[in-house]
């Protein structure tokens, strides 16, 4: 399994959150451009998530450890956000419950939790794949291939290419999972002209993320997966090295917090005023978003992840202690 090119993968994650922030916080000139930027950012994020999660389960199919790590990564900041929003800013306990159970993408998306749709898609995928692996073992991962194709066909049939509902969006995660299962070290350097290939994949990705391209948007998961596959296959090309730079890796490190936090920095008064007033407020919003994301990642989320790692390690020790001793036999 290929996880050597983590620097470039971090860079792709950074690009994904930059695109999402641009779609939500920067005037891009038209509604179609805004939708395209958001679709580009989320497709990168989902494909990377599917790749990394499936790589982990292939190497270490420990469902308990997998779920503990995922919950420790997602839940602490998500619950802190919903507590602040739905008890301090507005008192909406039902919306808080729907968001905290990661069902909001099917039941209730409103002005305060609309961006949680992607977290819901991710968490529903995590639980589904965890149950499958728990019941069937590692071979359950092969179900991801037909599942990906079925979801894409459903999307094309429904004509719904930027849907919030998992059954019409999860093929972006599943395509990354398929890359994880298919990739072999023999792919490295197997094709000539990697940079032109990557540029063609990027052009196709941009095209399939554009809302005016109709049913061709159904191929967005696969153009995104092509970008990931080429970067994994050619970790030393210049573009991959650029993606591995320290600033992008830092942004990738705080990307989850950036995503969860950023809407509260331009709610209400922060989103009003003339063009120049809003421009100044957006600079303040970006500063607040990055500052709060840095603090959250390093001071709020990090202890929870450390606690999860400790819990997993203690479970391993207890499991080892419960095993009967191995006796030598002649």
Cα dihedral 87, 90, 93, 95 in deg (nearest 10) = -130
Measure the CA–CA gap between 10 and 26, rounded to whole angstroms: 23
Q: To the nearest whole percent, how much of the chain has pLDDT over 90? A: 79
- pLDDT (tens digit per residue) in 146-187: 999 999 999 999 999 999 999 999 999 999 999 999 998 888
At 192, give phi and psi (nearest 5°): -85, 160
At 109, give phi and psi (nearest 5°): -115, 125
> Helices in the chain by DSSP H: which ranges?
6-25, 31-59, 63-83, 93-100, 104-107, 117-136, 144-158, 171-182, 194-208, 220-233, 238-243, 246-253, 255-261, 275-295, 302-322
Q: DSSP of 49-110, one letter per residue?
A: HHHHHHHHHHH---HHHHHHHHHHHHHHHHHHHHHIIIIII---HHHHHHHHTT-HHHH---
Q: Which three-class secondary structure state does DSSP give residue 113?
A: coil
pLDDT of residue 186: 81
Measure the CA–CA gap between 195 and 192, rounded to whole angstroms: 9
1 pLDDT higher than 70: no
Mean pLDDT of the chain: 92
Q: Which two tokens stand for residue 88?
A: 């301090």
Cα dihedral 304, 305, 311, 313 in deg (nearest 10) = -160
pLDDT of residue 274: 85
323 pLDDT higher than 80: no
Contacts of 206 (CB under 8 A, 6+ apart): 36, 40
123 pLDDT higher than 90: yes
User: Model pTM?
Assistant: 0.94
Measure the CA–CA gap between 330 and 321, rounded to whole angstroms: 25
Measure the CA–CA gap between 81 and 87, rounded to whole angstroms: 10
- pLDDT (tens digit per residue) in 23-82: 999 988 899 999 999 999 999 999 999 999 999 999 989 999 999 999 999 999 999 999
Among residues 247, 286, 254, which one has the least CA distance to residue 270? 286
325 pLDDT higher than 70: no
330 pLDDT higher than 50: no
pLDDT of residue 276: 84
Q: Which three-class secondary structure state does DSSP give residue 216?
A: helix
Contacts of 196 (CB under 8 A, 6+ apart): none
142 pLDDT higher than 70: yes
Measure the CA–CA gap between 104 and 109, rounded to whole angstroms: 6
User: What separation in angstroms does the CA of 103 have from each of 19, 95, 289?
Assistant: 25, 10, 25
User: What separation in angstroms does the CA of 68 have from each of 12, 65, 298?
Assistant: 25, 5, 19
Cα dihedral 162, 167, 170, 175 in deg (nearest 10) = -110
């Amino acid at each position: 399994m290929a996880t050597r090119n983590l620097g470039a993968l971090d860079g792709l994650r950074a690009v994904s959150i930059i695109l999402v922030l641009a779609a939500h916080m920067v005037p891009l000139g038209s509604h179609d451009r805004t939708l395209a930027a958001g679709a580009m950012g989320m497709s990168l994020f989902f494909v990377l998530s599917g790749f990394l999660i499936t790589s982990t389960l292939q190497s270490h199919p420990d469902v308990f450890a997998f779920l503990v790590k995922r919950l420790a990564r997602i839940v602490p900041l998500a619950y802190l956000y919903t507590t602040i929003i739905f008890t301090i800013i507005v008192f909406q306990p039902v919306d808080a419950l729907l968001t905290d159970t990661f069902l909001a993408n099917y039941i209730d998306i409103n002005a305060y939790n609309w961006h949680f749709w992607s977290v819901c898609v991710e968490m529903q995928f995590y639980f589904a794949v965890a149950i499958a692996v728990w019941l069937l073992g590692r071979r359950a991962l092969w179900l991801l291939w037909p599942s990906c194709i079925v979801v894409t066909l459903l999307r094309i049939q429904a004509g719904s290419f930027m849907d919030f509902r998992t059954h019409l969006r999860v093929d972006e995660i599943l395509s990354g999972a398929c890359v994880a299962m298919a990739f072999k070290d023999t792919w490295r350097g197997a094709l000539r002209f990697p940079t032109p290939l990557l540029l063609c994949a990027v052009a196709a990705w941009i095209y399939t993320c554009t809302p005016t391209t109709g049913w061709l948007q159904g191929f967005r998961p696969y153009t995104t997966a092509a970008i990931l596959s080429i970067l994994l296959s050619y970790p030393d090309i210049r573009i991959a090295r650029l993606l591995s730079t320290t600033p992008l890796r830092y942004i990738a490190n705080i990307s989850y917090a950036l995503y969860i936090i950023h809407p509260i920095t331009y709610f209400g008064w922060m989103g009003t005023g003339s063009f120049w007033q809003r421009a100044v407020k957006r600079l303040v919003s970006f500063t607040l978003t990055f500052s709060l994301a840095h603090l959250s990642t390093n001071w709020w989320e990090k202890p929870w992840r450390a606690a999860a790692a400790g819990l997993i390690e203690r479970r391993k020790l207890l499991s080892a202690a419960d095993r009967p001793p191995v006796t030598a036999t002649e």
